[in-house]
Amino acid sequence: MKQVLILSFLFPLLVQAQDLKQTIRGNIIDRESKATLPGANVLLYADTVFLSGTTTNEDGNFRLEGPVGRVDLVVRYIGYQDFFITNLVVSSGKEVVLQIELEESAQALDEVTITAFREGEVVNDMATVSVRSFTVEETDRYAGSRGDPARMASNFAGVQGADDSRNDLVIRGNSPIGVLWRLENLDIPNPNHFAIAGTTGGPVSIINNKYLSNSDFFTGAFPAEYGNATAGVFDLQMRKGNDEQYEFSGQLGFLGTELFAEGPLSKENKSSFLVSYRYSTLQLFESLNIQIGTEAVPRYQDGAVKLFFPLKNGSIS
């Protein structure tokens, strides 16, 4: 009887480990005047450990390299309040582009009282209240938001969601019908798929948080431009595309299969484009004859496009 002896040789494979890094860049401006802030300090931390830092140039732009994962960003500038972004997600496949607005810091001085009276004139002090600004990162950070700004807002004080199946908002006891939605300064009747006529909520939001910029959510004391609102206001803004390099991404999820593209139209004048498209994942499975256990398949698709052209005295988008 023949016996065959098999010898196994294990060859060690030496792999050189390398930390993955990604670019974090952005622009820093004054919140009121929108003027750029050159010389602002931008610091990057990970679990209170300093990683790197830089300063903004004459146009208020900054750029630094950070590790892939979650980091903390701190911005400091003389005469302004410190700005913090905690748990900023840095991925290997996409640059992080930020638009940061700093508020001036007020210093307590000795009291100066100036009193003037004029017959027939009423003094009326006005202040901006009941407004909450939120960033794109927050739409992914809140539990149960599913990337939906409305479901994220249900975590705010005084705001209550209807149920898990819809994103209707009850703000301070007011009817969800009184919520006004705006995108790029245009009123939207109802930004949801499968919405019921006369309502402002629905099961699946048409708004994709991946193309949103910093936006505002009002719960009361609305400015005059929001004349049709009686309960709350969502004033959403779209961000501009990456003006330095082309980026393409995709995502397969329960709410939809997404394709995303952005990049420069002209690197010289900083013009850019942004394109987003989403298709129902369950409908895609149905077209591939994949059984999902039910015939109630939601069929929907949505998309968005933004072109940005900077001018000497403004921009066109």
Structural domain includes residue 116 = no
Domain boundary pick from 102, 123, 149: 102
What pLDDT digit, counting tens, does each position of 65-123 carry?
999 999 999 999 999 999 999 999 999 888 999 999 999 987 766 777 776 544 333 22
Residue 140 shares a structural domain with residue 229 = yes
Residue 212 to residues 139, 140, 240, 248, 305, Cα–Cα distance (Å): 10, 12, 9, 17, 12
292 or 127: which carries more pLDDT confidence? 292
Domain count, the chain: 3
3 state SS of 212: strand
Domain assignment present for residue 12? The answer is no
Could you tell me if 166 and 90 lie in one domain? Answer: no
* Residue 6, domain member (yes or no): no
pLDDT-based confidence at residue 17 (cuts at 50, 70, 90): very low
The answer to whether position 284 is within a domain reads: yes
Measured CA to CA, the distance from residue 21 to residue 19 in angstroms comes to 6
Does 140 share its domain with 231?
Answer: yes
Give the domain range for residue 231: 131-236
Tokens of 272: 């850019």
Assigned domain for 175 exists = yes
Asked if 260 and 273 count as a contact pair (C-beta separation under 8 A), the reply is no
| Boundary-marking domain end, from 210, 236, 262 | 236
- Whole-model pTM above 0.85? no
Determine the pLDDT at residue 9: 42
With a pLDDT cut of 70, the percent of the chain lying above it is 89
Kindly tell me if the per-residue pLDDT of 41 is higher than 90. Answer: yes
**Which of residues 43 and 219 earns the better pLDDT score?**
43
Q: Domain end: 212, 236, 260, which one?
A: 236
Q: For the residues 8-16, what does the mean pLDDT come to?
A: 41
**pLDDT, mean over the chain:** 83
**Residue 251 shares a structural domain with residue 230:** no
| Residue 303 confidence (pLDDT) | 93
pLDDT tens across 227-277, in order? 878 888 888 889 899 999 999 999 888 878 999 999 999 988 899 999 999
pLDDT of residue 18: 52
Q: Check whether residue 232 and residue 135 sit in a common domain.
A: yes
Same domain, 256 and 276: yes
What gap in Å lies between CA 177 and CA 232, rounded to an integer? 10
Does one domain contain both 171 and 227? yes
What DSSP string describes 124-157? ------SEEEE-HHHHHHSTT-TT-HHHHHTTST
Distances (CA, A) of 142 to 153, 160, 180, 216, 251: 9, 14, 22, 16, 20
